[in-house]
Chain A
C-alpha cells in the first residue's frame, strides 16, 4: 500500500496555471475523490500523478519515492500505477484476457494467463475472458478496465470519471461493487469526478478543486457541514442565499437572526447561506416566527422541495419529508436550524472572498 503526495506542484498549458497545488496527500489505502467543476484541473492532476504529464514545478512522490521533480521524471510505464478511464479505453484488438494480461509483461505466458483469469474472477468476468471488448456491455467493460488496471498490482489506482459512461440504474450498482472491491484489496485510489453525490457516496476523503487549486480537503461530512467558503458550500449541495443585515445582536434576516461567527470582525456580510433542509416547518402558525405562503411544492420521491414566499416577496426553498408535504397556498411558520447556516464575509465590492471565517 502506498501513498501519493503532491508538493508545490504547478502545471500549465498556457499562461494560467491549470494545476497549482501546494500540498495534496492521498493516504495509503484511502479512496480519495478529486471533485470540481469542468476545467478545474482535476483531470490534469490525475495525469500528473500517472506521469502522462510532467509538472513544470514541484515534486510528486509515490510511497516516498520521487516520481517527478526538477531533475527526475519517472515515465508512466515505470510508475506502477493503474489507470481507468471514463471510456475504459479497452484495446479493441485484444480479447478480454489479453487486455488484462497486457501489463503483465514481467510474468511468463502461463503465469500471466493465470493471473489474468484470477483477477477477472475477482471482478466476476472470468466467463468473458475470450470475448472481445465490443461484445461486452458498458458495465462489463468497466469491470474489465478495472481488472486490467489491478492486474499488475499497482501501487495506486487512478480513475478518471470511471462511472459516467454508465446509465443511471447501472451506475449505483457498479459504483458500490467497485468500492467494495477496492476496499477489500486495500488499494490506494485517486478518482476524478464532477458529481458531488458520487464523491460523497464513495470517497474516504474529498479534495475539492477550483481554478487548479485545492480549496478544501476532508471527509464528505466535513465539506458538507463545514465548507470553507461559499464555493464549497454551494458545490456540495443546494443553498438559499438569504439577504442579511449585520446588527449588534447578530445577522438579521427574514428567516431569523444568525449569530455572528467569531473572526468576522469588521468585514461586511450581505447574505447568509441556508441549506434547504435547515428550514423547518412549524406544525402551527406562530406569529413570532417568520411566516410565509407555500407557492410551489415539488415531490421528488422521498422528500419534497417546497418554495415559500416570505412577506417581503423573497422566496426560499425548503426540503421536507414527503409525508409532511404542504399544499400550495397554505400559510406556514418557519424556523431555522442554525448548524446548517453558513456565513462568509463579502469584500468591499460585494464579492465574496475565499477566506474562511
Chain B
C-alpha cells in the first residue's frame, strides 16, 4: 500500500543517511546522454581513488617490514579488532533492541521522553566519551578518590577495573553506537504489522514468546543493518582505541605511517581493514537480499502497548535510563563541569580560533558535498539513455566513502596527493627553478577532499530521497501548465527539496566537526580544529583542557539528533491518528 510504503521510506531515508547503499528509481526515459552523466562517472572515479590506491599497494613489495608486522603486531591487531567487534555487537544489540522494544511496545513512565532521549548518545563521539570516562574513573578521578577517602584505602587495597583497556573501549563504543541499532529496530517494530503480533497472542503465546517468535524474526533484517553500521563505526574508530592504547588496525595504520614511516606497509594494513569493511557491507547486503520477510500487510493499526506491573515499569524505566545516563547525561555533565570549573582557561583566546576553523572547514565541506550531490542526482535524473545499472553504480561508488575508516582514507589520499605534489615540484624546479612545495597534500585541499569523500554519502542519500519525492509526473504536470526549466526549478523543485538540502548540509557539517583521524593526519601545519585540540589535550593528560572543545562538539552533535528524532516521529503511518478513532 502506497501510504505504508511512503511511511517506511521516510523512516528508512533517515536511517539510510548512515548507509552506504543507494537505490535509484527509473526516471524519465527521454533526454540525451549528457555531460553531467559523464561528469558523475568522473566524480565517482575520483571518490574511489583513495580505495583504489590502497588496494594498488597490495602489489608493492615492502620487504622485511611486512614479515616483521605479520610476525609481531598483526595477530594482536586481528584479535583486538575481532574482540572489539564482538563485544560492541553484544552491547549494542542488548541496549539497542531492548530499549527500542520497550519504548515502542510498553507503557511506562518517561516512555515518550526516552523515545527521543535514546538517540542522544549519537551526539557523543566515541573518543570524547572515552576522555570523560577516563577523567571520571582514573586513579585521581572523583570516583576512586571518593572510594579511597570513604574506606580509607590506599592504592594497594583495592582493584578497580581499568578503563583504558579493551573492555573499556568496548563499553565506550557500545554506549555511543547502540543508537544505530535502536534507530533501525524501533523503525522496524513500528512498521511491523501489529495484527501479526495480535494473532500470535490469540494463538496462545504470551507477550514474551510473541516477541521472540514473531517480532524479533520480523525485525531481524533491520537489526542486522543497524548492527552493520555500528560495526563499521567500530572498525573506523581511531580516537578511542588510540587513547586507550588498544592496538587495532586503525592505530596500526597510523603508527606504521608516522612511527615507522612505511607508507606501503600502512597501505597494506589499510587494505586488510578495507576487506573487513567490505565483508560487513556484503553480509548486510546478503541479509537484506535474502529476506523474505516482506510484509504481507499494508495495514497499520494504532499500537496497543502492553501495560506493565509496577515492578516491570521500574525495570523498563531503568533499562532505558541506563544507556541515556551513561551514554550521554553523565559524560556531558562531566564535560560541563570540567569546562566551567576554570572558565578562563577553558575558553581562552585559542577557543574562538578553534571554533572558527572547525566551523569554516565544516561549512565548506558541507556546501561542497551538497553541490556535488545535487549535480550527481540531477545529472542522472535528466539522462534517460545511460543504463540504469551504470547510474546506480556510479552513485553507489560515490557514496562508498562513508565506509572508509578515517586513517585508511588519510593514507589513500596522502599517497597519490604526495606523489602529484612531488612531481609538480620536481618539474617546476627543473623547468623554472622554483619550488612549489606541497600544493595538495599540505593544504586544506587534501582535508576538504577527504571530508567530501567520506561524507558525500550523507548528502547523497538525503538529497536523493528528497528528489525522489518529485515524481516525473509532477514535472510533466508543471510542463503542461507552461512551467519549465528554471521556472520549474524555482516553483516546484526547490520548494520541495529545500528542507532536505538544509538537513543534508547540517548532517555533513556535524560529521565533519566530529571527524578526528583524517583531520589529524591531513590538516595543514598549524591548523587546529576542536576535535584535534580535544585529542591533543587528552593524549597530553590534560583532560580538563580537552573538556571545552569536546563539549562544543557534543553540543553541535545534538543537531542531527533533533533532526533524526523529528523525522522518525513523523514516519509511522497513522502516527497522528486520534486514539479514539476506530482502527478501521
Q: Contact residues of A with B, CB < 8 Å? A: 12-16, 18, 38-44, 47, 50-53, 75-83, 85-93, 102-103, 105-106, 132-134, 141, 148-149, 152, 154, 158, 161, 192, 194
- 5 nearest CB pairs, A to B: A103-B203, A89-B195, A87-B297, A14-B580, A76-B201
Q: B576 within 8 Å of A by Cβ?
A: no
B578 at the interface (CB under 8 A from A): yes
CA distance A79 to B195 in the complex (A): 17
Question: Shortest distance in angstroms between A19's beta carbon and chain B's nearest beta carbon?
Answer: 10
The residue on B at minimum CB distance from A85 is: B195
User: Which chain B residues border A38 with CB–CB below 8 Å?
Assistant: 582, 584
Q: Given the complex of chains A and B, what is the CA–CA distance between A83 and B236 in angstroms? A: 49
- Report yes or no: B201 in contact with A134, Cβ–Cβ below 8 A: no
Kindly state the separation between the CA atoms of A179 and B204 in the bound complex, as whole angstroms.
Answer: 25
| Contact flags B304-317 to A (C-beta < 8 A → 1, else 0) | 10000000000000
Q: Write out the residue numbers on chain B whose beta carbons fall within 8 Å of the beta carbon of A16.
A: 580
The interface bits of chain B over 197-221 (1 if a CB of A lies within 8 angstroms of the residue's CB, else 0) are 0111111111000000110011010
Residues of B within 8 A of A75 (CB): 201, 206
- What A residues does B193 contact at CB under 8 A? 87, 89
A41 to B581, CA, bound (A): 9
Instruction: Report the bound CA distance from A141 to B298 in whole Å.
Output: 14
Question: Is B583 at the interface (CB under 8 A from chain A)?
Answer: yes
B583 to A43, Cβ gap below 8 A? yes
Contact in complex: A141, B580 (CB < 8 Å): no
Interface residues on B, range: 20 to 34
Asked if residues A93 and B293 are in contact (CB atoms below 8 Å), the reply is yes
Q: Looking across the interface, which residue of chain B has its beta carbon closest to that of A14?
A: B580
For residue A83, which residues in chain B have a CB less than 8 angstroms away from its CB? 198-199, 202
B202 touches A76 (CB 8 A): yes
A77 touches B206 (CB 8 A): yes
- Which residues of the partner chain B approach A40 to less than 8 Å between Cβ atoms? 582
Q: Is B202 a contact of A79 with CB atoms below 8 Å? A: yes
6 other A-B residue contacts (CB within 8 Å) besides A82-B202, A87-B195, A103-B202 = A39-B584, A76-B202, A77-B204, A89-B199, A91-B196, A158-B202
Q: Which residues of B contact A93 (CB under 8 A)?
A: 217-218, 220, 292-293
Q: Which residues of B contact A89 (CB under 8 A)?
A: 193, 195-196, 198-199, 296-297
Q: Which one of B196, B218, B578 lies within 8 Å of A14 (CB-CB)?
A: B578
Confirm or deny: B396 has a beta carbon within 8 angstroms of a beta carbon on chain A: no
Asked whether, in the complex, the Cβ of B292 is within 8 Å of the Cβ of A92, the reply is yes
Within the complex, what minimum Cβ distance (angstroms) separates A229 from chain B? Answer: 21
Contact A86 B205 (CB under 8 A): no
B203 A133 Cβ-Cβ under 8 A: no
**Which residues of B lie under 8 Å from residue A148 when comparing CB positions?**
199, 203
Which chain A positions have C-beta within 8 A of B195? 85, 87, 89
Check A85 against B299 for contact (C-beta < 8 Å). yes
Nearest residue in A to B205 (C-beta to C-beta)?
A77
Note all chain A residues with C-beta closer than 8 A to B298: 87
Q: Taking the complex as formed, is B349 at the interface, i.e. its CB lies under 8 A from any CB of chain A?
A: no
Q: Distance in Å from the Cβ of B195 to the closest Cβ of chain A?
A: 4
Q: What are the residues of chain B within 8 A of A194 when measuring CB–CB?
A: 584
Q: B389 at interface (Cβ–Cβ under 8 A)?
A: no
Give 17 pairs: A residue, B residue, CB < 8 Å, sorted on A. A38-B582, A38-B584, A42-B584, A43-B582, A80-B204, A85-B195, A86-B299, A87-B193, A87-B296, A88-B296, A91-B196, A92-B218, A103-B205, A105-B205, A106-B204, A148-B203, A152-B204
- Which residues of chain B are near A192, meaning CB under 8 Å? 584
Query: B294 on the interface (CB 8 Å rule)?
Result: yes
Contact A81 B202 (CB under 8 A): yes
Residue contact A134 to B296, C-beta cutoff 8 Å: yes
- Complex Cα spacing A352 to B195, Å: 39
What's the minimum C-beta distance from A48 to chain B, rounded to whole angstroms? 11
Q: Does B579 contact A (CB under 8 A)?
A: yes
Q: Which single residue of chain B is at the shortest CB-CB distance from A36? A: B582
Q: When chains A and B are docked, how far (Å) is the Cα of A12 from the Cα of B579?
A: 9
